[in-house]
């Protein structure tokens, strides 16, 4: 029998700004956990500060709201997760550095679907896995021991072939599911899908909305999201580096 988890697609306290599950899962999860400070909340925009991860999550419907949000966050500790054309344009006008565009891929149900059984064991990872993860994670800017240790403490899962770790997944500091990597010789066996659904279950247990961040040019991840019936955000999302000296 499949286990039903607490419905996670609810907004704990509706702010003045109209939030949606697909475009604002990071804001909703932050509010659910009660670890936030409301920086801006009007009908034309919202900005929430994540006190745990020191990140700002923002959206704006007009230039004035976007300008006000940036005035309240510039030169502060942490980066900004912005969405939509208006926020992007105002950030570019201020010569802020933006990431490549991506979308949220959100799990909207209460029961993860079943996937094909795989001959591997899924276990929570400990700090012993840090060297392996740093060596095998393909996105090298984040393959650093300090960041990986933080993500293991937050909860990472690994797939084991016998006693050998051959794949892993976790959540980024923004709360999105990611850090997925499968050794080349073990790919195309459904391991990535099983790890993703396992992490979705972990997020549902915490009463959170499970979601991933998919770059628009990452066709492999987008195909998996479609297979797992994740719903894409309407808005494009950008990571905005508020510290101009940050590399």
**Distances 32 to 8, 11, 157, 195, 213 between C-alpha atoms, Å:** 9, 7, 23, 24, 20
47 CB burial (10 A radius; 0-12, 13-18, 19+)? buried
pLDDT of residue 117: 72
pLDDT of residue 27: 96
pLDDT of residue 183: 97
- Domains of the chain in sequence order: 121-207 (3.40.630.30)
CA 184, 225, 151, 81 dihedral sign is positive
* Radius of gyration of the chain measured on its C-alpha atoms: 18
Task: Determine the Cα–Cα distance for residues 200 and 109; give it in Å rounded to an integer.
Answer: 10
pLDDT tens per residue across all 247 residues of the chain: 444 334 444 555 678 999 999 999 999 999 999 989 999 999 999 999 999 889 999 999 999 999 999 999 987 778 999 999 999 999 999 999 999 999 999 999 876 666 667 789 999 999 999 999 999 999 999 999 999 999 999 999 999 999 999 999 999 989 999 999 999 999 989 899 999 999 999 999 999 999 999 999 989 889 989 988 899 999 999 999 986 544 3
DSSP state for residue 124 in the 8-state scheme: E
Give the Cβ contact number of residue 64 at 10 Å: 14
pLDDT of residue 245: 47
Q: Tell how far CA 80 is from the center of its chain.
A: 13
Question: What's the angle, vertex CA 101, arms to CA 100 and CA 104, rounded to 5?
Answer: 130
């Amino acid at each position: 029998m499949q286990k039903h988890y607490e419905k996670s697609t609810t907004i704990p306290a509706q702010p003045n700004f109209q939030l949606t599950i697909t475009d604002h899962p990071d804001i909703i999860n932050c509010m659910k956990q009660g670890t936030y400070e409301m920086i801006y909340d009007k009908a034309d925009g919202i900005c929430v500060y994540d006190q745990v991860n020191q990140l700002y999550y923002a959206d704006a419907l007009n230039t004035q709201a976007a300008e006000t949000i940036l005035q309240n966050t510039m030169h502060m500790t942490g980066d900004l997760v912005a969405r939509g054309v208006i926020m992007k344009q105002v950030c570019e006008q201020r010569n802020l550095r933006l990431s490549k565009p991506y979308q949220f891929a959100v799990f909207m149900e209460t029961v993860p679907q079943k996937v094909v059984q795989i001959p591997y064991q899924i276990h929570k990872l400990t700090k012993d896995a840090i060297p392996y993860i740093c060596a095998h994670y393909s996105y090298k800017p984040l393959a650093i021991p300090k960041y990986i240790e933080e993500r293991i403490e937050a909860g990472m899962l690994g797939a084991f072939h016998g006693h050998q770790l051959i794949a892993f997944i976790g959540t980024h500091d923004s709360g999105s599911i990611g850090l997925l990597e499968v050794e080349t010789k073990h790919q195309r066996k459904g391991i990535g899908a099983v790890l993703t659904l396992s992490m979705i279950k972990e997020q549902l247990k915490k009463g959170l909305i499970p979601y991933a961040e998919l770059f628009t040019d990452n066709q492999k991840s987008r195909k998996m999201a479609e297979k797992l019936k994740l719903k894409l955000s309407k808005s494009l999302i950008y990571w905005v580096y508020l510290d101009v000296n940050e590399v």
